[in-house]
Structure 1
Amino acid sequence: MDGFVYNGNPGRVIFGSGTVSRLGEEAEKLGASRVLVLSTPEQAGQAQAIAGNLGKRFAGLYPNARMHTPTDVTADAMRLVETLGADAVVSIGGGSTTGLGKAIAFRTDLPQIVVPTTYAGSEATPILGETENGRKVTKSDPRILPEVILYDVELTMTLPVALSVTSGMNAIAHAVEALYAREANPIISLMAEEGIAALARALPAIKTDPGDVTARSDALYGAWLCGVCLGSVGMALHHKLCHTLGGMFNLPHAPMHTAVLPHAVAYNEAAAPVAMARLAKALGVTDVAEGLYDLAAGLGASMALKDLGMPEDGVRPAVEQAMSNAYWNPRPLDREALETLIGRAYAGTRPGAGS
């Protein structure tokens, strides 16, 4: 076996059904007495209800988290943190809310508890992506990693099928890139393969029966594993492109990842044969890029960035920005090939080998 380096991120994970009832207990273990709860506007009611589990530790609700973690929203939330004298944050929702909690923790080192309601997986990473002036910048820091994750399968039972699909595909993207990351190692590769397989079997079952508890549990389990993968090794082309597109055009996060992933995999296919073999096994397909495309499209996901709000003249500027501060990638970045890649994702066409 080749040599490798493995760093395990610390964190407490509680997985099951009804686990949200332990929220107050977990806050107490962190020594928190004035907890600020975070949510998006759409999930404010759900967050308020869940906050009841904090009892007297609940200090207030900030319900204005937004996609791609804009720095002006973080600044607004920070004012409430200071006003309330908050000593911990609880993020209830998907990646938007988790991102805001991470941004607050990065600035204050306050402890975080995350209660995921989607399959984002970002709760398991020490990575924060923030958007300012049309550019999304990522950073990694121990302060960003949440201390506790409460996975409650019951909170995902009403997640709409369309969001379940794109959220799950977003999670799969984390593990896909972990398999060919520069820092790839045997432990993370095992997690990646297991996480992808769990989601690949869960998402079609959820499409067939959204109330399938076993499928919902598999999806949440897979999302956690994929998140651990993203938080343990580096990112590559797919995430760079999505950070660029999201920051420039404010595209919806999970659907954007879903549309780009097959094309990013096709681009890297020849440069990462071992990773592709593991992906093929996890997905149960022979062609990984086409398999990912067919999985998502077959479950009803939009595969065209133009349908998500990307302008037609955005391809070249996106490539320019992506190449200006590129992530490591197994295949060197080629401007013309990247324009073809994003062009295909823009149009929603099937991926092409080596594109």
Structure 2
Amino acid sequence: MTMTFEHVTLGQRVLFGSGAAAANLAGEVRRRGAGRVMVIATPSARPLAERVCRDVDVALWWDEVVQHVPVPLAEAARTAAAAHGVDLLVCVGGGSAVGLAKAVALTSGIPVVAVPTTYAGSEATNVWGMTEGRTKTTGVDDRVLPETVVYDATLTTSLPVEFSVVSGLNAVAHCVDSLWAPRTDPVNRLMALEGARVLAAALPRIAAGPGAVAAREQALYGCYLAAVAFASAGSGLHHTICHVLGGAFDLPHAPTHAVVLPHVLALNAPAVPERAARLADALGRPAGPGQDPAAAAVAALHGLCRDLGAPARLADLGFGADDVAEAVRRVRAAAPPSNPVPVTEAAVTALLTGALTGAVPGPR
């Protein structure tokens, strides 16, 4: 069988080292010759950000950070950056802080250095997202790709177990979506499967011992692989659904990914049995003799989520039965045509209803 594909790898500098964030960040600021640094971090992350930036001359601290990046907030941050003559953006925190830095970079071209403290993975992609009028719009632009990422596992040890779990499953979602996203190819599928393997091994260790730096290093490594794969493969049905639920219904980002992902896998896996088998193997629960690979993959993912104590019902996140019809319309309008199975009204309704009620997912 011949192979034909086009693969794009994004150019980015990665500095990985536990306990080295402050030194690596200061060195990166010096290397770039930046003199007007804007640091984006939530009020709760400010003490950590101050430690990370202890050797950096900060021109502007910005602590107004909201998930899904409302457009007015992005505009306010852009105005402040311009008023202070900012020449480098440093974001310290999770996906919302990275997302706001990207929104500023999108129109200003100011370079971004990201210091992640969760496993969201946004720091390794050129994808931006903003919300206006209950609609979350996403796009791809190389200006928003952080030029440097500073990874330090010690910055994640204070992350509560429950959030570590859902953030890690957000990274697993990047892996799963990359298996059939619009631009998927053998290279990013390989990274996605390795990311899934590493995350599936690391997350239970983090749940058992939140201070385990070695496990958190592995989780950061896995989330980086997942994000690089996702940036190359593009956004699939799972992320379409989660963007709709976040933008239109203001559901929390990472928990929504954790709830929805097994149901999307249950819908798509039967159409790609070879990839499903490889995913089940990566998750550490390979298909047994004669077992349907789709069923094995869904059971493996559902078992991981269950064992980690992840949320299982959209109803617990603020989504109701009365919201299903609107969500179905929005998902179908935005769903990628390359999805392995048709994104019919019945299919999306069943998927969202199962996620709403916490039904045990299974191949359809």
8 Å contact kept, 2:182–2:336:
no
| Residue 93 of structure 1, CA deviation | 0.4
| Residue 334 of structure 1, CA deviation | 0.8
The counterpart of 1:300, out of the listed 293, 309, 326, is: 309
Aligned to 1:184: 184
8 Å contact kept, 1:30–1:111:
no
Aligned to 2:109: 109
Q: Secondary structure at the match of 1:53?
A: coil
Q: Secondary structure at the match of 1:221?
A: helix
Q: In 2 relative to 1, CA 220–274 (structure 1 residues): closer, same or farther, beyond 3 Å?
A: same
Matched letter for residue 332 of structure 2: M
1:259-274 aligned within 5 A: 259-274=259-274
Matched letter for residue 175 of structure 1: C
Aligned to 1:315: 324
Instruction: Provide the rounded CA distance (Å) in 2 between the counterparts of 1:304 and 1:290.
Output: 17
| Residue 211 of structure 1, CA deviation | 1.6
Matched letter for residue 112 of structure 2: Q
User: Greater CA deviation, 281-290 or 235-244?
Assistant: 281-290
Matched letter for residue 52 of structure 1: R
Instruction: Provide the rounded CA distance (Å) in 1 between the counterparts of 2:359 and 2:14.
Output: 39
Instruction: Provide the rounded CA distance (Å) in 1 between the counterparts of 2:40 and 2:108.
Output: 15
Instruction: Provide the rounded CA distance (Å) in 2 between the counterparts of 1:308 and 1:42.
Output: 22
Instruction: Provide the rounded CA distance (Å) in 2 between the counterparts of 1:284 and 1:299.
Output: 14
8 Å contact kept, 2:15–2:24:
no
Aligned to 1:224: 224
> Between Structure 1 and Structure 2, how many residues are aligned?
352
Aligned to 2:14: 13
Aligned to 1:49: 51
| Residue 262 of structure 1, CA deviation | 0.2
Aligned to 2:355: 345
Instruction: Provide the rounded CA distance (Å) in 2 between the counterparts of 1:18 and 1:299.
Output: 27
The counterpart of 1:336, out of the listed 323, 338, 346, is: 346
Aligned to 1:99: 99
Aligned to 1:29: 31
User: Greater CA deviation, 254-263 or 325-334?
Assistant: 325-334
User: Greater CA deviation, 44-53 or 88-97?
Assistant: 44-53
Instruction: Say if 2:333 is the partner of 1:324.
Output: yes
Aligned to 1:170: 170
| Residue 183 of structure 1, CA deviation | 2.0
> Which runs of no fewer than 5 residues in structure 2 stay unpaired?
288-295
Instruction: Provide the rounded CA distance (Å) in 1 between the counterparts of 2:137 and 2:62.
Output: 23
For residues 258-305 of structure 1, what are the alpha-carbon distances to aligned partners after superposition, in whole Å with 9 as ceiling and x for unaligned? 000000000101112222121111002232122212211221111101
Instruction: Provide the rounded CA distance (Å) in 2 between the counterparts of 1:174 and 1:121.
Output: 8
8 Å contact kept, 1:290–1:350:
no
Instruction: Provide the rounded CA distance (Å) in 2 between the counterparts of 1:145 and 1:274.
Output: 32
1:237-276 aligned within 5 A: 237-276=237-276
Normalising by the residue count of structure 2, what TM-score does the alignment of the two structures yield?
0.94
Instruction: Provide the rounded CA distance (Å) in 2 between the counterparts of 1:18 and 1:50.
Output: 10
Instruction: Provide the rounded CA distance (Å) in 2 between the counterparts of 1:19 and 1:114.
Output: 14
For residues 67-104 of structure 1, what are the alpha-carbon distances to aligned partners after superposition, in whole Å with 9 as ceiling and x for unaligned? 11111111121121022111110010010000001111
Aligned to 1:198: 198
8 Å contact kept, 1:48–1:61:
no
Instruction: Provide the rounded CA distance (Å) in 2 between the counterparts of 1:275 and 1:32.
Output: 45
| Residue 189 of structure 1, CA deviation | 1.5
Instruction: Provide the rounded CA distance (Å) in 1 between the counterparts of 2:188 and 2:347.
Output: 29
Normalising by the residue count of structure 1, what TM-score does the alignment of the two structures yield?
0.96
Instruction: Say if 2:218 is the partner of 1:208.
Output: no
8 Å contact kept, 2:74–2:104:
yes
Instruction: Provide the rounded CA distance (Å) in 2 between the counterparts of 1:53 and 1:158.
Output: 22
